[in-house]
Chain A
Amino acid sequence: MSNSTVTQSAQPQETLVSGITRRFRQDFQTYTMIVALVAIWGYFAFATEGSYVSPQNISNLFRQMSVTSLMAAGMVLVIVTGNIDLSVGRLAGYVSVIVAYLQANTWNVYFPDQPALAAISSVIVGLSVGTLWGIAQGYIIAYLRVPAFIVTLGSLFILQGLVLLQTEGKTIPANQPVFSQIGQGYLPAELSWGLVALIVAFLVFNMLRSRRNKRRYGFPLPAPTLEILKIAAYAILLIAYVAVVNSYSIAPGIPYPVLLLALVAVVVTYVSSNTRFGRYAYAIGGNRDAARLSGISIKRNIFLIFVLMGFLCGVAGIVLASYVGYGTIGAGGGYELDVIASAILGGTSTLGGVGTIPGAMIGGLIMASLSTGLQMLNAPPALTYVIKGSVLVFAVLLDVYLKRNDS
């Protein structure tokens, strides 16, 4: 056991191969999930004779994952701190019902024929309802010390009741033209290409900036070829995605909910690793006592995480109402299962302390890929549930097995 005193600056420059192996080790489960995703797509492409990977289906697939994946981004942090939120699906459902109700019955009374104002008002109310619910839940969990499992289970019941109360058992339309764009609209094809160019330019700029900072601190720089390859890989994925969705002749362009999801995923990823709030979440999940003795306010942090979760449920609820065009009594029911499963498939540990947002996004994509694929094969819904459940357990089993062999 001959370890030397740690050094950072004196380490040899990273080579391409060592860089790739290091990254692979770091995100082992993410990579296995990507392999699984490719396998699932391959199978469905084959079974549907190619229509699974048609522009229309790819465009819809990503849009379908957006509602649950918006919430999965928050769920990762909730689970990382050692908590759980069972109410997310019904909260999103309640938000969707409320905004539908307001559009059907309220806005036209106060400002008729102003669809933009109606849409903005709906968004504001939807986000507020989600956030307020998060504040209430977070307060009870963090400050009044009722376990999250119980509080959110209770919430699930309450929200189910509120949805029934609000809808009176009926389906409420939510189809004002501007509001519908949120879930159903597309960024025009040309703008989609422009966005890709902007993102790639930002990635290059960011790489250069990061290298300059690292050099200033005297850190070893990652192999330049590795960084360029990484950016190239992102660029190819983005270009491939936009090329495919743009070639969907009926509605070309990136669907707005997918854009929104990407934005939320990037922001929450940044928050989770580059802010004190995010770091503290991982420390609390990793060792609560050590975190507390390091001067971290555990109550405040957990409270804020539930507020964020509520806010994201608000976002998801708005997208849900806009996408389906209705508020229904069943809105959001059972979504919590997909949300939690996405986070776990993406490598979030139920023991706390471990989990990434990009992982959860891949988990969400796997879930949506299974649903759409089975639908296209005309499989009965019952089978979809059985397969989703089996995939979840099998994925974690595989992970446990691979980790054991690794150590």
Chain B
Amino acid sequence: MSEDTILEFRNVTKEFPGVTALSDVSFTVRRGEIHGLCGENGAGKSTLMKILAGVYPYGTYSGTVLYNGKELKLQNGAIQAAVREGISIVYQELTLVPAMTVAENIFLGREPVERGSIDWDRLHSETRSILEKYRLDVRPQDVVRNLGIGQMQMTEIAKALSEDAQVLILDEPTSALSEVEIDRLMEILQTLKARGVTCIYITHKMNEFFRITDQLTVLRDGKVVSSRPTTEFTPEKVVSLMVGREMKERFPRGERRPGDVILEVQDLHAEWAGREVLKGVSFALHKGEILGIAGLMGSGRTELVMTLFGELADVTGGTIKLAGKPVQIRGSQAAMKLGLGLVPEDRKRFGLVLPQSIVRNISLANLGQFGGSLAVNEDSELAASTRMAQDLAVKAPGVQVAVGSLSGGNQQKVVMAKWLLSNPQILIMDDPTRGIDVGAKYEIYKLMNALAERGIGIIMISSELEEVLGMSDRVMVMWQGRSQGTLNTRDATQERIMTLATGLA
């Protein structure tokens, strides 16, 4: 093991009952590099990172992990042990305490103590210096609950940096960040690299690997299929290594002929928790069309879909017309009756009942379809849910397993199955492919095309401009609660969308 190697995996194998999550994994990470780790969900990335974090302690896997030339032996239950060794993880799922301030979160579990009580002054001043050093746009005394999701992610990163990490593992750090925030993160990573901090970078966004990483390791089905300098790859090559097949196109193109207008929104204003979040949104959706909605974090995209679904936000002005008739939508029940379906942002929080089975999740919004006014006919429920799960190619050991045990892509398919079973005329999809691997993304795109061909109008919100351009017929761009303009995808470019989304035009 040479001096510039910080981390080496040698024949690491990790088995769960019935599943081999990692099989004979070997590769090295050099000191001070940014090492990209990619693979579909279920390829073994998370398992590998959990070994590094001590979630799966020494002895629960076979093979060796060398860290600074010595074997890494993290003890059972001592996740802080990894932190003490200098290995910090920024998790994909946010792990902050919403009711605490930024400073309290950053030092959670490591609060500076002076004679038995917390030294608040030191805690705040150290937090301030970290935030300033990395130009993070939050204040130490901000309560995390009030932050945007991008700022929360920044806080999460600040927390890891404050732990004097030698190795920083970033698990999909940008999935919730806006373009501007991503740029800043990239700058931070370059700074860290210059200071000799090693980063392991996990993402599903291909362009980020080529933008930032030095070395790429591709995992498939728990095995390393390639580990080489990034310059030796092309995006197409990486994708084909990940899925094990050549993927000609990332966005399948459907034959679509949009029909009549089914939804028309004019000058919509809305309030959410006493704050005006929509300040004039207008657009039209046609039958069989995919309308993309682009905009940065905080532009009002999610607020718009929640308003359309009659939840959380209150309409304060403007009109919503369904098939030419003005409607007022009060709550999700009313929205469903009017033929709307919603695949919400953050499927774990808003979309699924994780401990319940695939069947129960799919049938949840549709129990009225099975049996009489009171009792649920479980046989017809099972039949319909299974058919839906099969149509959407949900991959699972069976339809009775808890959705919490599925991969992100399959969870998202279950959410879609739920709404498709309700037979909507309009399907609103809020960031439908967030945190989903390439293969599952492709399947979801194909599904969207099939739905549009059946005449369903689809509204798709997305943080990824490539996705918006690849999938939509038209793109409506939002900025600060307003619709800035609607572009035909044929004429739109990423630059034009960004110009509108940043309020420059």
Q: Report which A residues bind B (CB closer than 8 A).
A: 1-9, 11, 213-214, 216-219, 270, 274-277, 279-280, 282-283, 286-287, 289-297, 353-354
Contact = CB atoms under 8 A, between A and B. Distances in A.
A275 B331 CA distance: 22
Contact of B352 (A1, A282, A287): A287
B379 A4 contact: no
A293 B356 contact: no
A8 B354 contact: no
Nearest to A8: B386
B358 A6 contact: yes
B386 A297 contact: no
26 contacts: A1-B42, A1-B221, A3-B397, A5-B393, A5-B394, A6-B358, A6-B386, A6-B389, A8-B386, A219-B383, A275-B376, A277-B374, A279-B376, A283-B353, A283-B356, A286-B354, A286-B356, A289-B349, A290-B349, A291-B353, A292-B311, A293-B344, A294-B332, A296-B333, A296-B364, A353-B356
Given A4-B395, A292-B332, A295-B365, A219 B356 contact: no
Nearest to A4: B395
A404 to B, nearest CB: 10
Contact of A293 (B42, B351, B375): B351
Contacts of B395: 3-6
A213 B370 CA distance: 14
B243 interface: no
A283 to B, nearest CB: 5
Contacts of A295: 331-333, 335-336, 365
B360 interface: yes
Given A217-B380, A276-B367, 17 more contacts: A1-B21, A1-B221, A5-B394, A274-B375, A279-B364, A279-B367, A282-B353, A286-B355, A287-B352, A290-B351, A290-B353, A291-B364, A292-B332, A294-B418, A295-B331, A295-B336, A295-B365
A1 B389 CA distance: 19
B376 A290 contact: no
B337 to A, nearest CB: 8
B399 interface: yes
Contacts of B364: 279, 283, 290-291, 294, 296
A284 to B, nearest CB: 9
Contacts of A6: 358, 386, 389-390, 394-399
A214 B379 contact: yes
A96 to B, nearest CB: 31
A353 B355 contact: yes
B432 to A, nearest CB: 15
A290 B367 contact: no
A274 B376 contact: yes
A219 B353 contact: no
B212 interface: no
Contacts of B360: 279, 282-283
A282 to B, nearest CB: 7
B295 interface: no
Contacts of A5: 390, 393-395
B350 A293 contact: yes
Contacts of B69: none
B136 interface: no
Interface in B361-379: 364-365, 367-368, 374-376, 378-379
Contact of B309 (A3, A214, A291, A293): A293
Nearest to B418: A294
Contacts of A274: 375-376, 378
Given A1-B42, A214-B379, A219-B379, A353 B367 contact: no
A295 B379 CA distance: 22
B504 interface: no
Contact of A217 (B351, B382, B394): B382
A293 B332 CA distance: 6
B273 interface: no
A293 B352 CA distance: 10
Contacts of A297: 331, 333
Closest 10 CB pairs of A and B: A286-B353, A294-B365, A295-B333, A8-B386, A1-B42, A287-B353, A3-B395, A276-B367, A295-B336, A295-B332
Nearest to B44: A1
Contacts of A291: 353, 364
B87 interface: no
A166 B396 CA distance: 60
Contact of B383 (A1, A217, A276, A287): A217
A7 to B, nearest CB: 7
Nearest to A1: B42
B19 interface: yes
Contacts of A353: 353, 355-356
A218 B379 CA distance: 10
Given A282-B356, A294-B332, A297-B333, A8 B382 contact: yes
A340 B393 CA distance: 43
A293 to B, nearest CB: 5
A208 to B, nearest CB: 14
**Most B Cβ at <10 Å: residue of A214, A277, A293, A353:** A293
A6 to B, nearest CB: 5
A219 B377 CA distance: 14
B386 A289 contact: no
B288 interface: no
A295 B336 CA distance: 7
A280 B355 CA distance: 14
A213 B379 contact: yes
A140 to B, nearest CB: 21
B342 interface: yes
Contacts of B42: 1
Contacts of A9: 386
Nearest to A214: B379
A216 B380 CA distance: 10
Given A286-B355, A293-B350, A293-B351, A276 B382 contact: no
A82 to B, nearest CB: 12
Nearest to B337: A295
A56 B75 CA distance: 56
Contacts of B380: 217
A290 B375 CA distance: 22
B42 to A, nearest CB: 4
A11 to B, nearest CB: 7
B226 to A, nearest CB: 19
A341 B144 CA distance: 37
A277 B368 CA distance: 11
A294 B221 CA distance: 34
B221 A293 contact: no
A99 to B, nearest CB: 30
B355 to A, nearest CB: 6
B222 interface: yes
Contacts of B358: 6
Contacts of B378: 274
A276 B374 contact: yes
A287 B368 CA distance: 20
Contact of B374 (A2, A3, A275, A287): A275
Contacts of B354: 286-287
A292 to B, nearest CB: 6
A286 B356 CA distance: 8
Contacts of A293: 309, 311, 332, 342, 344, 350-351
**Most B Cβ at <10 Å: residue of A2, A5, A354:** A5
A3 B401 CA distance: 12
A283 B358 CA distance: 13
A7 B395 CA distance: 9
Contacts of A294: 332, 364-365, 418
Contacts of A213: 379
Contact of A290 (B352, B374, B389): B352
B436 to A, nearest CB: 15
A276 B353 CA distance: 15
A11 B398 contact: yes
Nearest to B396: A6
A289 B354 CA distance: 12
